[in-house]
């Protein structure tokens, strides 16, 4: 995100050594991306958790994702987002790889989160939720303008090599 004004004092930023800088606060404002997690949730029956979020796609299903809060680690963010969006408790997780999502300037850390199947408890952001056999995921998962499909592929590649 490129800043024009200082988010702290509101003064217009100057450019100092090619970096936006607030002369008042003596603070640089780099062109940072937003930090997110992208999480493939898998249960003990090897089923994948898919979400229907109409504000993202009216036709396809996505996986758990969310913005990292300032003050939490990526692992804490994974646990929080999975619990908030689905009601599932993460027992363990593995980092797979990261993705850059240009349309929204996101740097996304992709994880697999392992859970024991619990009753769903979804937020209002989620319109529907389901467990899906790995072999059927391709029928549902979003691949346009969304990284759910790409992270599913990378996760399957990782699990198949284990
Ligand atoms: Zn300032």
Give residue limits of the domains in the chain: 1-31, 34-161
Model-level pTM?
A: 0.91
| Cα–Cα distance list, 104 to 16, 61, 147 (Å) | 26, 19, 12
Ligand 1 centroid – CA 102 distance (Å):
28
Determine the distance separating the centroid of ligand 1 and the alpha carbon of 28, expressed in angstroms. 9
What residues contact 71, with CB distance under 8 A and at least 6 apart? none
List pLDDT tens digits, range 3-45.
999 999 999 999 988 899 999 999 999 999 999 999 999 999 9
3-state class (DSSP) for residue 55 = coil
Q: Look at the domain 34-161 and name its fold.
A: Nucleoside Triphosphate Pyrophosphohydrolase (3.90.79)
Ligand 1 mean position, distance from CA 25 (Å): 4
Torsion of CA 120, 126, 130, 134, to 10 degrees: -120
In order of 62, 113, 151, the CA distances from 155 in angstroms are 14, 11, 6
Q: What is the pLDDT of residues 110-152, one digit of tens each?
A: 999 999 999 999 888 899 999 999 999 999 999 999 999 999 9
């Amino acid at each position: 995100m490129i800043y024009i004004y200082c988010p702290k004092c509101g003064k217009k930023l100057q450019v100092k050594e090619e970096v936006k800088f607030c002369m008042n606060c003596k603070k640089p404002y780099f062109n940072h991306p937003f930090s997110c997690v992208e999480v493939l949730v898998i249960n003990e029956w090897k089923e994948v958790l898919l979400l229907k979020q109409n504000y993202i796609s009216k036709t396809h299903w996505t996986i758990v994702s969310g913005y990292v809060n300032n003050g939490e680690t990526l692992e804490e963010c994974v646990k929080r987002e999975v619990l908030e969006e689905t009601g599932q408790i993460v027992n363990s997780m593995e980092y797979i790889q990261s993705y850059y999502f240009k349309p929204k300037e996101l740097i996304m850390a992709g994880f697999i989160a392992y859970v024991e199947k619990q009753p769903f408890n979804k937020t209002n952001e989620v319109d529907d939720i389901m467990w899906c056999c790995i072999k059927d995921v391709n029928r549902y998962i979003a691949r346009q303008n969304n990284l759910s499909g790409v992270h599913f592929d990378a996760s399957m590649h990782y699990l198949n090599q284990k």
